[in-house]
Structure 1
Amino acid sequence: MTWIRFLVKTFAKPLYRFLSKPNKNPLKTQKILLTKILKLNQNTVFGKTHKFHQISSIRKFQEYLSPQPYEYFRPFINSMTQGKTDVLIPGSPLYWGRTAGSTGASKLIPITNRSIRNATRGTLLIYLSYIAENPQAHSKFLDGTVCFFNANPALEYINNIPVGFGTGIFSQSSQNQIWGPIFQKLTYTTGHLFEIKNIQQRYHHLTRETIQKDIHVFSGVTTVVLGLLEVILKYTQQKNPKIKNIRDLFPNYQFSILGGESPKFYERRLFSLIGEKIDYREVYGATEEIIGVQLQDSPGLTPLFHANFLEFTPLNSTERLLIHEVKKNVDYKIIITNFNGLYAYTLGDVIKFIKTDPPLFEFSHREGTINMASEKMTVQQISTALTLTNQQHDCTVVEYCVVGKYTPKPHYIVILEYLAAQNPTDEKEYLKSFNENLMQSNPVYREQVIGIRAIADPILWIVKNGTFFNLEQQNLEAGLPMGQHKIQHLSTNESLLKKFADYIIKEIKLG
């Protein structure tokens, strides 16, 4: 047992209780946080324009600042990129965070040192809560290496301020915190590999470096972790065909922290790749800020009340609710205010509380939908239907894309890549089950398909193994940065269909 493991195992529970204090009285924590944010930023251009010095209560704040999307902040951010200071925040940002563009065009977000500390604290809470559950068994990962698959921390510079993706910024900045030496001792990060421009050479280096380490934890964006583990396995099997799964390479792999996309849909693929089940916890955040973390084995994310002042707007409503006013099983749009210069900022995500005391929520969907005939189909509804269908037919989907096609009549093209030897025995029955589950998930879709027949039955494209990986590599090689290279889960862009055309094994239709 290393000295780090001994210390953390001994003090995990009291340290976790100490760091969790803001969660004991969420409303009080939120009021204090909003006061700090307004006071710190009252002399900025934005603060003066919006009369921060006159705001003395939450209701006053809501009166002075209406919820706004990114475009409202763009002129202020453009001013900052031109070298102006004290615009949205005091001075200049530590980094510029570039979004992956999953909800639209890529955006620049100012990142401050407080935001870095919030992300670090959120990750620390996950680790401490996990260890506190079973100190002896769950602390074992501290005897090995934590591998963090991070994005590029410095894509370019704007007025000497680095521009990077969130996970890259976090990994680089965390090393500069007071616990930097411990962090460096425990953690292997992959940011240095971005200096290798050739994708295949980069993967060879990644494989060579990781298999030499005793890795106990793999962490990062869910789909990136899965994709890179598959790369490592593939490259290793080329030299040693006896290697069957990730467990053969990393026998002590026990835990993951996964974010970016909900791991729930990818569970079967992950466990199949590893060779058995492992523990994992979810972190929910965006470039704008970390929002919530999973602090228990059961599903549910705890809001980080010390990081963002949070407001919640029910769908089809303008009412702005606080944390003590939310209800279970209601969808809410999130509005955040934080130290990154975002005030009453509409994130574009929709969440649902599964518990209110203490508050626990789950990510529901992003506001982007397929909307062929007022059905407003979400990623969550598609994923739920797919997961249920996979269980019913005992198969595993590696990745999927659903494209709305308007001709000759509105319908969905469902593009699925199955895990090798885990595809359905009857593809037509599979498609039928999926459509039924989709109608169960979305009543409006059901009415449009069965009732007024505004939407035709879906068509299933089964594609070759490796299709999504190959297309994403093509995007990387074409110059798209990590994050923007991913194939969207939902789209009405029919040009996507051309990309998949050469990979189709079967086309399945109902009727």
Structure 2
Amino acid sequence: MSIKSLFAIPFAKIATKKVYKWANNPHKTQEKVFKNLLSKGSKTAFGKDHNFSNITTYEDFKKEVNVTDYEGLRHYVDRVVAGEPDVLWTGKPLYFAKTSGTTSGAKYIPITKDSMPTHIKAARNALLFYIKEKNDASFVDGKMIFLQGSPVLADKNGIKLGRLSGIVAHYVPQYLLKNRLPSWETNCIEDWDTKVNAIVEETINEDMSVISGIPSWVQMYFEKLIEKTGKPISETFPNFNFFIYGGVNFEPYKNKFESLIGKKIDYIELYPASEGFIAYQDSQTEKGMLLQLDSGIFYEFIPADEFFNENPTRISLKDVKMGVNYAIILNTTAGLWGYNIGDTVEFTSTKPYRIKVTGRIKHFISAFGEHVIGKEVEKALNDSIKGTNINISEFTVAPQVSPESGLPYHEWFIEFENEPEDLEAFAAKIDASMQAQNIYYIDLIEGKVLRPLVIRKVKKGGFHEYMKSIGKFGGQNKIPQLSDNRKIADVLNNFLITA
């Protein structure tokens, strides 16, 4: 055991104790964050426009600040991008995290000197909780790989611009740099195929202990390793014992991962976003991720089924309930106010506050009034593969409103690694789970408005080909797991197994 791993255990105990100090005083912590945001925000153009100096309560705040999104803040963000200080937050941002927009093209999310440290601290604490729980820090002596976007940053009016994962790459602690892979040069490769092949060459003979990234892209890395070595990952990397991921529900992919790895491992789930590091898994035995209440974010919540109403219920942390699907709203030290990040969450615990991500507020299917959400399709799929040798690489769901014959249906595009022997029986199991979860869906089936779902088999590598075809291959890009339109589905028809 090295000095580094030896000292990591007592350090983890101290750090996690500090976290639980604020986690066990959640409402006081959030009130402190709220007051700090108003105090600093009152010196900005946004704060002056929204009467921050006269706001004393959350009820006052709701009257002055509407829930919005990037487009709603666009006229302020454009001023920040142009170089104007004190617009959304005091001074100028340190960085812009560039993300894909919908109606607006590229989005420029500010990261400030107040918000940047919270990203780094949360990622560090997630590892420290694991060390404390296991009472073992031996993994810090091995090599660690983080599959991420390029760390090469552009310049936007004197402010550095890049993907969040590329920005964070500049903040790897000095004591981990010797253990970190891939090399800087490899990490800077833009083409994802070329990059993964280079990472395989750099890591194949190393003692990898920690691997992190979006599951679909790490899976691609694993498959290339196995293709080259002919061995499962656990034989190539015998000391690899836990995987860090975020951005998707991992359960539907777990069977596939464990078959590639060749053994069961631990997992740490993170919830980082360009807008703020929202939560991380603090326990291997408790469900959900610890909500970051002390990271310069004041949280608001709107019941997801009310979100598109004219006057939806809008509450702070103290009024949330277990088992309700909420749209999560952020107010941050990066200058985002009443900001709808687009995600939906559900609380798994309120002592302390832990959440799980249930989907996207815009990613749903309600072509017939069924109100199907991501959590439901993920559970249906997971219910159906549990206890089987069926492995799934990727999937997405869309409505088929105008079939060539028969009733409309939900169309499931699935790329199998190991497919079921009886595809119709498998589809029936998924459909039964959907009917059990969603009363609107079963009413439509029984009322002969919809027929049971139909599965389309996507050829191996088909989802990767689709992502290449739309220019979103690799990095932090993810496939939406359901949509209310045919935009993705119609293109995926080009990547189906037709025989």
Q: Same fold (TM over 0.5)?
A: yes
Residue identity (%):
27
Correspondent of 2:290 among 302, 313, 316: 302
**Alpha carbons of structure 1 residues 201 and 404: separation in structure 2 relative to 1, 3 Å:** same
Which moved further from structure 2: 209-218 or 154-163? 154-163
**Alpha carbons of structure 1 residues 320 and 479: separation in structure 2 relative to 1, 3 Å:** closer
Match of 2:271 in 1: 284
**Partner secondary structure for residue 90 of structure 2:** coil
Verify: 1:423 aligned to 2:419, yes or no: yes
Q: How does 1:12-51 map to 2 (within 5 A)?
A: 12-51=12-51
Report deviation, 1:199: 4.4
**Alpha carbons of structure 1 residues 127 and 397: separation in structure 2 relative to 1, 3 Å:** same
Match of 2:199 in 1: 206
Correspondent of 2:161 among 160, 163, 179: 163
Which moved further from structure 2: 275-284 or 158-167? 158-167
Match of 1:461 in 2: 456
Deviation readout 1:217-264 (Å, 9 max, x if unpaired)? 011223332233333333x24xxxxx2211122111011221111222
Verify: 1:432 aligned to 2:428, yes or no: yes
Verify: 1:448 aligned to 2:444, yes or no: yes
Contact kept? 2:396, 2:414, Cα under 8 Å: yes
**Alpha carbons of structure 1 residues 400 and 480: separation in structure 2 relative to 1, 3 Å:** closer
Q: How does 1:159-238 map to 2 (within 5 A)?
A: 159-172=157-170, 174-175=171-172, 180-189=173-182, 192-193=185-186, 195-234=188-227, 236-237=228-229
**Alpha carbons of structure 1 residues 37 and 202: separation in structure 2 relative to 1, 3 Å:** same
Verify: 1:343 aligned to 2:337, yes or no: yes
Deviation readout 1:483-502 (Å, 9 max, x if unpaired)? 44x43322344353454345
Contact kept? 1:50, 1:64, Cα under 8 Å: yes
**Alpha carbons of structure 1 residues 103 and 13: separation in structure 2 relative to 1, 3 Å:** farther
Q: How does 1:59-138 map to 2 (within 5 A)?
A: 59-101=59-101, 106-135=106-135, 138=136
For 1:313 and 1:155, locate their aligned partners in 2 and report how far apart those are by CA, in whole Å.
Answer: 35
Deviation readout 1:279-336 (Å, 9 max, x if unpaired)? 1111113211111111001321111001211122223263332222222112222111
Contact kept? 1:149, 1:190, Cα under 8 Å: no
Contact kept? 1:89, 1:339, Cα under 8 Å: yes
Verify: 1:490 aligned to 2:482, yes or no: yes
For 1:257 and 1:481, locate their aligned partners in 2 and report how far apart those are by CA, in whole Å.
Answer: 17
**Alpha carbons of structure 1 residues 336 and 496: separation in structure 2 relative to 1, 3 Å:** closer
Correspondent of 1:407 among 374, 396, 402: 402
Contact kept? 2:416, 2:460, Cα under 8 Å: yes
Extract unaligned runs of 5+ from structure 1.
238-242
Contact kept? 2:71, 2:104, Cα under 8 Å: no
Correspondent of 2:492 among 476, 500, 503: 500
For 1:462 and 1:216, locate their aligned partners in 2 and report how far apart those are by CA, in whole Å.
Answer: 35
Which moved further from structure 2: 363-372 or 149-158? 149-158
Match of 2:349 in 1: 355
Contact kept? 1:352, 1:361, Cα under 8 Å: yes
Contact kept? 1:313, 1:333, Cα under 8 Å: yes
Report deviation, 1:346: 1.8
Report deviation, 1:437: 1.3
Which moved further from structure 2: 396-405 or 195-204? 195-204
Report deviation, 1:392: 6.0
Which moved further from structure 2: 216-225 or 365-374? 216-225
Report deviation, 1:194: 5.4
**Alpha carbons of structure 1 residues 433 and 351: separation in structure 2 relative to 1, 3 Å:** same
**Partner secondary structure for residue 248 of structure 1:** helix
Match of 2:380 in 1: 385
Extract unaligned runs of 5+ from structure 2.
none
For 1:293 and 1:506, locate their aligned partners in 2 and report how far apart those are by CA, in whole Å.
Answer: 42
CA RMSD of aligned residues (A): 2.3
For 2:157 and 2:181, locate their aligned partners in 1 and report how far apart those are by CA, in whole Å.
Answer: 30
Q: TM-score, normalised by structure 1?
A: 0.89
Contact kept? 1:100, 1:165, Cα under 8 Å: no
Match of 2:141 in 1: 143
Paired positions, count: 488
Match of 1:328 in 2: 322
Contact kept? 1:227, 1:469, Cα under 8 Å: no
Which moved further from structure 2: 50-59 or 139-148? 50-59
